[in-house]
Amino acid sequence: MESINQIQDAIIEEFSFFGDWLEKYEYIIELGKDLPLIDEQYKTEDYLVRGCQSKVWLHANLEDGKVVFKADSDAVITKGIIALLIRVLSGHSPQEILDADLYFLDKIGLKEHLSPTRANGLVSMLKQMKLYALAFQKQLTGKNE
């Protein structure tokens, strides 16, 4: 399994081939359209991360010590960026997720989507992902004791 940074670097390289914003967003929109990211059962208020504009649903499981994230959004660009975030963070240990420095969004020119003023729910989603990781981390260390 690749590390979080290896995946980030791979995404940065993929995005370097795009000539302009149009190709970049076409790709993100495709990612958003293609991925059925979350089971309908989790698309409820309980799993809703409230943004001001677009809604984001997030669910996490701990499987064999790794956190598996599933998420979705009602806006397709938000959904595409979620697909990237999940590709980077899902399948890693809680500690790796807690330590992760997400530099790839800046490098591929999508940092604006993580600005709190965008109010698209992504900032809250990232925070929620780290909170899940923290909770799972406590579960794991609790078991070891």
Partner 1 sequence: MSGNLATTGVFDVEAVRKDFPILQREMNGQPLCFLDTAASSQKPLPVLQAMDNYYRQHHANVHRGVYQLSQEATDMFEAARKAVQRFIGAREEHEVIFTRGTTESINLVASSFGSAFLKPGDEVLITWMEHHSNIVPWQLICERTGATLRVVPISDEGELDMDALGQYLQGPVKILALTHVSNTLGTINPIREIVKMAHQYGIPVLVDGAQAVPHSPVNVSELDVDFYAFSGHKMYGPTGIGILFGKTAWLEKMPPYHGGGEMISRVTFEKTTYNELPFKFEAGTPDIAGSVGLHAAIEYLQGIGLNNIAEHENELLKYGTELLREIPGLRLIGNASNKAGLLSFVVEGTHPYDIGTLLDKMGIAVRTGHHCTEPIMDRFGIPGTVRASFGMYTTKAELDRLAAGIKRAVKLLL
Catalytic annotation, residues: 52
**Position 9 contacts partner 1 (CB under 8 A):** no
In the complex with partner 1, the residue whose CB is nearer, 66 or 118, is 118
Q: For residue 21, how many other CB atoms are within 10 A of its CB?
A: 9
Give the DSSP letter of residue 25. H
Q: How many residues are given for the chain?
A: 145
**Position 11 contacts partner 1 (CB under 8 A):** no
**Position 25 contacts partner 1 (CB under 8 A):** yes
In the complex with partner 1, the residue whose CB is nearer, 56 or 67, is 56
**Position 43 contacts partner 1 (CB under 8 A):** no
Q: What is the CA radius of gyration of the chain?
A: 15
Residue type, 140: L
Chain centroid to CA 107? 16
d(CA 98, CA 100) in angstroms, rounded, equals 6
**Position 34 contacts partner 1 (CB under 8 A):** no
**Position 23 contacts partner 1 (CB under 8 A):** no
Closest separation in Å from C-beta 54 to partner 1: 5
d(CA 132, CA 124) in angstroms, rounded, equals 12
In the complex, which residues of this chain contact partner 1 (CB under 8 A)? 21-22, 25-26, 29, 52-55, 74-78, 113, 119-120
